[in-house]
Structure 1
Amino acid sequence: MMNFEAARIKMVENQIRTTDVTSHPVISAFLSVPREAFLPQEKKALAYIDEDIPVSQAADDKPARFMMEPSPLAKLVQLLEVKKNDVVLVVGSGEGYSTAILSLLANSVVAIESDENLASESSQHLADLGYDNAAVVTGNIEEGYAPEAPYDAIFVNGAIEFVPQALLDQLRDGGRLVAVEGYGNAARARLYWRERDVCSYISAFNAAIRPLPGFTKAREFEF
């Protein structure tokens, strides 16, 4: 039988610490959350590999969804610099793992998911494991979740083509948003922050992660 605790420690030591993740709270969260608990039985043995893990199939022009590889996830979470009193929005809860990680760092977390099955599964996973400061709602992830805004931090849980203004508008003054913009090797992790009504950003590092559905710019018609 697989020793998941040993695998979790090995993941942190070999995949996370080795990629410039030095935040003690972030490392502690990754050591604490049982990654395997967010996967179906037939995939639990894959929980700690250094690859993305499929959690839903592609359908109706929507991409397949994945549990993000540990290393880029940890780097993105560290970049967001979540504080204990923060209210956080997760855009695209997926299976719920990233929401659980962030719930250990924040005061409370709201996660929005467009896939009803994934929303139900992630909500159940979080409840089963006792992460009672996190809630999952179903809706259009491109629109964020205005009823609980403003947020101190927003985490976009997958690659997108651009950050919609609707998400930036839901940041509190001084709030931060982390997203990977672009796809494949050209993708960059960006940290946005809001000062009054102005949002600025810096590009932090390359990060090739799987895309979220939507978040594509309208194509201009060409004759």
Structure 2
Amino acid sequence: MNVEQARFNMIEQQIRPWDVLDSSILALLSAVHREDFVPPAHQALAFMDLEVPLPAGQSMLNPKVEARLVQDLNLGKRDNVLQIGAGSGYVTALLAHKAQRVIALENKTELVSLARNNLRHAQINNAEIVEGDGSRGFAAQGPYAAILLTGSVTAVPQALFDQLKPGGRLLAIVGREPVMQAVLYTKSEQGQVTHEELFDTIAPPLDGMAPDRPFTF
């Protein structure tokens, strides 16, 4: 396989047509090598339009969904970010290139180890993988300018909204199959949360994310 050609095809044929048009994101997808975050047994799937299996019964999101989520979170270099669901660490690496600092929560010990190793090999120094319950967030390092859920939920736990800074954004895929939407929530300076439905998609559910107290409008 010609890796660079496969990467180019992924970006131009899968990702760009999905309204990922930010040139900095497209350049980032070339610079951060997705194949380095894919388990060796599934290397041939690294650039395909599908969800790549991970240990512990989990999977990486489809490449176009990963790219669209990172783009639509609209990060700045001074932002601190909380990611729920580290997986293999690939999306964590993308976020780390756009933000000041990333805390990624992962509740599967096997994936915590995998993501940490992958980030170390990629020389990502401004991201930390923390083993923990994503539904509770990580208040110790908050509040956050942005929170990203890298999987689907039926409702966003209130604890995550509580850990957003005023002016902060939270992006999640919300719903049940076959109807899910990527929803961008924004917290006002007064603490009110509004939301915008961005696009339809399907994503695997985040493990252990049934909220004790879901957010309601």
User: TM (normalized to structure 2)?
Assistant: 0.93
| Stretches of 4+ aligned residues off by more than 3 angstroms | none
Q: After TM superposition, list the pairs within 5 Å mapping 1:210-221 onto structure 2.
A: 210-216=204-210
Q: What code does the residue aligned with 1:206 have?
A: D
Aligned pair partner of 2:115 in 92, 99, 122: 122
Correspondence 1:147 to 2:159: no
User: TM (normalized to structure 1)?
Assistant: 0.91
> Cα offset for 1:73?
1.5
Question: For residue 60 of structure 1, what is the aligned residue in structure 2?
Answer: none
Q: What code does the residue aligned with 1:216 have?
A: A
Q: What code does the residue aligned with 2:44 have?
A: A
Task: Check whether the contact 2:169–2:187 (CA below 8 A) recurs between aligned residues.
Answer: yes
Structure-2 separation of matches of 1:67 and 1:33: 15
Q: What code does the residue aligned with 1:149 have?
A: G
Correspondence 1:203 to 2:197: yes
> Cα offset for 1:217?
5.4
Structure-2 separation of matches of 1:128 and 1:184: 36
Structure-2 separation of matches of 1:173 and 1:47: 37
Structure-2 separation of matches of 1:71 and 1:170: 28
What count of residue pairs does the alignment treat as equivalent? 211
Question: For residue 165 of structure 2, what is the aligned residue in structure 1?
Answer: 172
Correspondence 1:8 to 2:2: no
Q: After TM superposition, list the pairs within 5 Å mapping 1:180-195 onto structure 2.
A: 180-195=173-188
Q: After TM superposition, list the pairs within 5 Å mapping 1:51-200 onto structure 2.
A: 51-57=50-56, 64-195=57-188, 196-200=190-194
Q: Percent identity?
A: 37
Question: For residue 215 of structure 2, what is the aligned residue in structure 1?
Answer: none
Structure-1 separation of matches of 2:59 and 2:101: 24
Corresponding residue SS for 1:66: coil
Corresponding residue SS for 2:50: coil
Task: Check whether the contact 1:25–1:105 (CA below 8 A) recurs between aligned residues.
Answer: no
Task: Check whether the contact 1:185–1:206 (CA below 8 A) recurs between aligned residues.
Answer: no
Structure-2 separation of matches of 1:49 and 1:150: 36
Task: Check whether the contact 1:159–1:180 (CA below 8 A) recurs between aligned residues.
Answer: yes
Structure 2, unmatched stretches of 5+, are 213-217
Corresponding residue SS for 2:167: strand
Q: After TM superposition, list the pairs within 5 Å mapping 1:15-54 onto structure 2.
A: 15-54=14-53
> Cα offset for 1:6?
2.1
Structure-2 separation of matches of 1:73 and 1:203: 17
> Cα deviations across residues 98-150 of structure 1 (Å, max 9, x unaligned)?
10111111111110101111011101100111011111010101111111101
Structure-1 separation of matches of 2:94 and 2:3: 17
Structure-1 separation of matches of 2:135 and 2:92: 17
Structure 1, unmatched stretches of 5+, are 58-63, 219-223
> Cα offset for 1:183?
2.6
Structure-2 separation of matches of 1:152 and 1:80: 10
